[in-house]
Amino acid sequence: MTEFDARGAAAAGEEIDPGGSEPAAAVIGREAEVDRILRSLDVRDGLPQALLLLGEAGTGKSRLLRVAAETAERRRTRVLPAQGWGSEEPQAFSTLHQLLLPVLGAIDALPEHQRRALRTAFGPAPEAGPPEIQALGAAVLTLLGHLAQACPVLLTVDDLQDCDRASMRVLFFVTRRLTNQAVTVLFTARGEAPPAGVPADLPVLSLGPLSDRASALLLDAQPGAPEGRARLDLLRQAEGNPLAVVELSRAAYGASGPATAGADPRQTARIQQMFAARLGELPEETQRALLYAAASSKEDELVTVMAALGAHDLAVWVRAEEADLITIADGRLAFRNPLIRTAAFHRYAAKLRQQVHRDLAAARGQVPARRAWHLAAAAIGPDEAVATALEEAATQAAQTGDCFASAKALEQAARFSAGVHDRARRLAGALAAASDVGDPEWVRDLYERFTRVNRDPELLCIAACAMSGALSLLSFQREAFDLLLDVWQRTPPSRATTSFALAAVATGISRRSGLPEHRLPLPRLLDHAVRAAQAEKDRCAQQDGFFHELSGPEVLASLEAAVSVGIDPAVRGGSDALRRLTAPPSEPLDGARRLTRLLATASVAHHVDESELCAESYRQAGALRGTRGTLGPRAWTLAAEVDTLVSIGRWAEAEAVIEEGRSAAAVHRLTRVGMDLEALEVTLRALRGETMPDIPFTGPHWRSVSLDENRSTHARMLRACGLTAMVLGDGDRAFRHLRALFGEDGSPLDPFLSPRSISELAAAAQRIGRQQEAARILGDVRERQGARPTTRMTLLMHHAAALVNEDADPEHHFRLALVNPEAEKWPLERARARLHYAIWLRRRRRPLDARVQLTAVLEVAARLDARHLAASARGELRATGVAQAPASADRLAELTAQQQQIARLAANGLSNREIGERLFLSPRTVGSHLYNVYPKLGVSSRHQLRDLLYDR
């Protein structure tokens, strides 16, 4: 439809397609729903199908209906569409006429009385009365059955709530009586509950808000989508409504982004037009009340809004509630669609909107933080009083862990600052808070404004930490490190907290880049920070200002340990540092200081392979982090956290962290973080033994990022590819990928990750006869680990030596890889060593000894759900002479308990998302499980799965 038609339809209450005409945007965030809808089109068994799509305006119901229609047409299904129109609701059978108009020529094949019923309904003769519903329903049923003999038929009815009742009674009559006809009926309706008259047994698919990740991906599909803080504002304002994401992006196109209550007024005409008719029908006092509600925020209570409005009776809201524009519950008012808020606010002139904000600021019971925001919305030009109020609001938000609100308040405070120094100071604070939020584009924008006004060297170091961190998250490791080092060399910080913060950021960048030139300056940065701390201690200086949460001897000592071990765990005494970090603190640590110590502990534990302590420290740190949507320091630790959870066999937790992290990475457009998590997801799938239908690491972000300066990401990708090739039985490709973890001279691509893949490289090398090459790399790894390698590295090197060191006694190394009870901390690595030991024993004609090892392998494989490992162990057991277990009459017995649960729920008709909500899994994880369940059960669809389970 044209833009004029779209606006007119929206004004009439219709739903506008939030996905546009782009196929990529059609199903973003609705993959599970599309799967459920398309399954309803499967009429190969002649089973009747009917489904009602239910959701608020803008949730994408109409688009999903079109996806179903387009798919049906490609399957050579006849599609008969109808659209509900409020203006036609009084006209009986108008919807039915829309549906059957294209096939009225086929009524000649019907019996005379049924032809007469249809003709009377669609054009009654003067002497004829309205047909009976049952007679007309029987005629429609016969007509559809006749059409279905030639090809399947799909009926789609959009906006059921606006259809005439007579047509609906006929259609519900028909859907209840479809028996073996190849006919599907899809309805959509607006709201949270089915319209009156809908049969209780009609299946319902509710469309809720999009996930944060899906909303971000939908926003990315829009032309000229805003970035930085404007992007985060938009996503929060849209509340997961697809139409709101699209329209707010259009409104913000070319502007600085959404303002406090919406986008720039000059660019919201389209949104205003969508709801002009519905808002214009309200009484004047209700329209005015909605203006106050729109100017308020979710934090403003209804009593505060009514105090600003000067109203004392809830009657002012009644018409708006009846029109489904708002809901009132628990003392708060909410708009049913985020776009209604924008339309209700921008319908009025700027002067009146300014007065509304002043009234809200002065309202009785208004909290200081919200008062500051309303004063800012009403202010024009610099106003130090407003800036001070916003800065106080930022402090309060920071204390509650809301880094986003804190950064946004400081950014606005800088805008209203009268003095240049205050503006720079507040921008530096906004930079630090935005860095904790984890949004690089926002940090970049703030940094550009900061550098134009700043004259303070200490503030420059603080800002450089934030900007370098942002560049690192964006994958620009060389630029990030150069910026930090340049600032440090030109204006080294004088405060210990700033010095340690700078050294910590530099160490983090170095670890992600893997570049040798980045490790060289780190000792100087650390030494400078230690001297600054000692100087402050000698002067008994008090810490204040920025990074005050890092002050105190305990916290600075924690940072020193983390940076020191990050530079070189072997040389800097990681085990000693860990003992100091786990000792009881000499002073109480509040939330921020305790979080810093926990993250330092986790970092050191990760480097020295104290995996259980590392995982526990990350878990406790996660409980102390800020509000939803704040990623901050976790963006730097997500990959290490997943690495640790995978290594100790807590794979379900690892999947949850991956899912959460990928969502945050999509929201904040953290390219490198998303790449790390994608590589870890592929790794985990390979460890489970899942084969992937597509080739990983082919997306545009993998082509846009330089892996040379993101070597930790490159190492994770190579390991994932190598393990995937092993599962597929491609030894050559597995060795090629794992061999690339080391240079020609044996130097590791990543100093931490590469050595921990040495046993996997050895297994691949043994498979294709490249033991000598792997043995040379093993020797280099052993030399680099020093005289006191970690327990984990010791076990891995013994395992590798048993496989490729031809001059050593393999059994001696196998025993050393298994005898240490601490090996149980890394169950998969120990199980692999047992498997390879069993293979060696079998080839030495010691089958009984091999069976002992293989039995232990099977137990671990079952516990971890490592199917490829289990299959290898079962194959070796057969080779040792153990008869294969008889085929179980219960094919479900081959599945894990979780897979059995998922299979049963899927057979009952639940979508992947519904299953995930019950089992606390992501829809992607559920789909992955089903992808592997089907071949085990010998089925290829949910219909077959249902038949299999119902036959039991």
Share of the chain above pLDDT 90, in %: 46
- Residue 920 is predicted with a pLDDT of 63
> pTM (2 decimals)?
0.81
Comparing 119 with 477, the larger pLDDT belongs to: 477
Per-residue pLDDT tens digits for 370-402: 999 999 999 998 999 999 999 999 999 888 878
175 in Cβ contact with 50 (< 8 Å):
yes
257, pLDDT greater than 70: no
333, pLDDT greater than 60: yes
Tokens 């880049």 belong to which residue? 513
263, pLDDT greater than 50: no
How far apart, in whole angstroms, are the C-alpha atoms of residue 585 and residue 349? 59
940, pLDDT greater than 80: no
Query: Average per-residue pLDDT in the chain?
Result: 85
284, pLDDT greater than 90: yes
- Report which secondary-structure segment, H or E, holds 204: strand 204-206
CA dihedral 516, 517, 521, 523 (to 10 degrees): 10
Q: Identify the band that residue 452 occupies on the pLDDT scale cut at 50, 70 and 90.
A: very high
How far apart, in whole angstroms, are the C-alpha atoms of residue 358 and residue 856? 72
Return the structure tokens found at 897. 């308990």
Per-residue pLDDT tens digits for 904-916: 788 777 778 778 7
The two beta strands, 332-335 and 326-329, are antiparallel
654, pLDDT greater than 80: yes
How far apart, in whole angstroms, are the C-alpha atoms of residue 857 and residue 6? 62
Of 203-217, 475-489, 528-542, 640-654, where does mean pLDDT reach its minimum? 528-542
409, pLDDT greater than 90: yes
184, pLDDT greater than 70: yes
Residues 6 or more apart whose CB falls under 8 angstroms from that of 335 comprise: 293, 294, 325, 326, 341, 344
- Residue 330 is predicted with a pLDDT of 86
Query: What is the average pLDDT across 699-705?
Result: 77
Comparing 362 with 786, the larger pLDDT belongs to: 362
Query: What is the average pLDDT across 231-237?
Result: 92
- Residue 87 is predicted with a pLDDT of 62
Helix (H/G/I), strand (E/B), else coil: 922: coil
How far apart, in whole angstroms, are the C-alpha atoms of residue 829 and residue 864? 12
- Residue 23 is predicted with a pLDDT of 39
Residues 6 or more apart whose CB falls under 8 angstroms from that of 588 comprise: none
DSSP for 629-657 reads T--TTHHHHHHHHHHHHHHTT-HHHHHHH
Q: Identify the band that residue 885 occupies on the pLDDT scale cut at 50, 70 and 90.
A: very low
Return the structure tokens found at 704. 């846009």
Q: Identify the band that residue 264 occupies on the pLDDT scale cut at 50, 70 and 90.
A: very low
Per-residue pLDDT tens digits for 715-744: 999 999 999 999 988 999 999 999 999 999
CA angle centred on 756, ends 752 and 760, rounded to 5°: 145
Question: By CB neighbour count within 10 A (0-12 exposed, 13-18 middle, 19+ buried), where does 8 fall?
Answer: middle
